[in-house]
Amino acid sequence: MDLQLKKLAHFSGRPGPLLLIIMDGVGLGREDETNAVFMARTPVLDELLRSRFFTRLKAHGTAVGLPTDEDMGNSEVGHNAIGAGRVFAQGAKLVDGSIASGKIFTTGIWQELVGRGKSGKTLHFIGLLSDGNVHSNIRQLFALLENCVEEGVRRVRLHILLDGRDVGARTALTYIQQTEELLTRLNQEQGCDFRIASGGGRMVTTMDRYNADWTVVKRGWDAHVLGRARGFSSAAEAVESMYAEDAEATDQYLPAFVIVDAAGKPVGTIQDGDGVVNFNFRGDRAIEISRAFDERDFNAFNRERSPDVLYAGMMEYDGDLHIPHKYLVSPPEIDRVLSEYLCAAGVTSFALSETQKYGHVTYFWNGNRSGYIDEKLEKFVEIPSDRIQFDKAPKMKAVEIAEQAGALLRSGRFRFGRVNFANGDMVGHTGIMEAAIEAVETVDECVGVLLQLVRELRGIAVVTADHGNADEMFTVKKGVKSVKTAHTLNPVPFVIVDPEYAGEYELAGLANQGLSNIAATLFNLLGYEAPADYDQSLIRIKA
């Protein structure tokens, strides 16, 4: 594999470092009261948006490898696109294609799973129940269930994780109703025994990421495997009861629950010999529960009982660590990422964020691969996130990230650095406008500190975002205000800050520019030509 970079003839970069700043979840939305980015006091961002080197980038839909332009972007596909410099078909699109072609149902692992269901064992499905198309899609689950019937599986149990984050804050009952209607039809027409068995809000049950809080996974294990949580006669009853008990409760934080029969016995615990499918296609929040099922020497929490099951993910969630061991659809093969080229050229770099986005500037940036490409040239720094609802501490770890980035830059060891400020995304997901405003203001202040340091070091900074979120906190339809916790379809800013600019380049003015155009731009700003098959640079070097 040829990873050799050619130097530009007419631009060699600056004496100082190149710093990429990703303001996670800070998009460019309507300039009104729905937009926390607009409502916040952001003198630094305001000045950046007046820069000669400001432009807008697409960060959703087909521009980042998703099926349609109605699909919101997310941090995973966004960092894939930035780090790889090209657009690869992503999780949702890959799974949709595999289902449409029927390929997924011909795989050996699927046949082995349904074989267990046909032999009298139970087939379990665990995943996020919504059509957000970020972690999962309810339509994909329904396709799997329909095939189970065709294959002769008679007993299925669903363990549903409530969204309220990539979709409306209180939409769980809509998805539960759709699911129950399908299950009722299959049971009545085909004589099946398909039921919802357990569930809980995604932020407190099962879907932890980056080892931030294993108690989240334990709650899921207790509910799905052991049948240990608050009992209800149906999932709808569980959600309706929790809504009634807390008028401000949102789906993503609803406690774990189990469905019980008239005698109070759980209807669907996971037992020896059963099959288990995690129908999430996105990796970050599926890795930990997969480890709990796959690892014999697992010790992150006391499982109490570890049933001997056949476990499979919708996809392989970590290609380096091979988590899980078995999966239904192969992930995109992302090769020759920007960092591989930089390491081959001997360019030193660092990646920095707090826990919530640490994997994005490392794992996803490097094409869904864990670990260093060249540990002698790279440094990854994780600042532990607080274990708290992010609206309670909207500053998160932004100040600490800025301080650590400053120390790394001042060390003189690194030619390139990338940092991610998670605030706009993580606080945006809470739907709390006041907290989101404070989050955006904090990031703005921290970006200002870093830009000043880059100036002092005679370097260049690039400021952008991976998708929108805080730029649309609520919608108003027919006079009714609805909190919006999902990502947006808005473009994101892209700005080059080059204090020593002397006319060496100009914006290229591309017709359909998106996140994947950033990598080639970074190569140019470091003084290199981009690889020929990378998406075009956002700048044009002048002769």
The active-site residue, picked from 75, 98, 349, 385, is 75
Distances (CA, A) of 21 to 47, 59, 353, 424: 16, 16, 10, 13
- What would you measure as the largest C-alpha separation in the chain, in angstroms? 81
CA-nearest of 391, 413, 410 to 402 is 410
Give the C-alpha separation, 56 to 49, whole Å: 10
Which residue, chain included where needed, has tokens 């309220």?
Answer: 164
Q: Is 75 a catalytic residue?
A: yes
Give the C-alpha separation, 515 to 536, whole Å: 11
Start-to-end Cα distance in the chain: 30
Give the C-alpha separation, 467 to 483, whole Å: 18
- Cβ proximity of 338 and 331 under 8 Å: no
Give the C-alpha separation, 71 to 92, whole Å: 10
Give the C-alpha separation, 249 to 270, whole Å: 29
| DSSP conformation letters of 364-387 | ITTTS--S-S-TTTEEEEEEPPPS
Query: 49: left (phi > 0), else alpha (psi -120 to 50), else beta?
Result: alpha
What tokens does 135 get?
Answer: 């972690």
Q: Which residues are catalytic?
A: 75
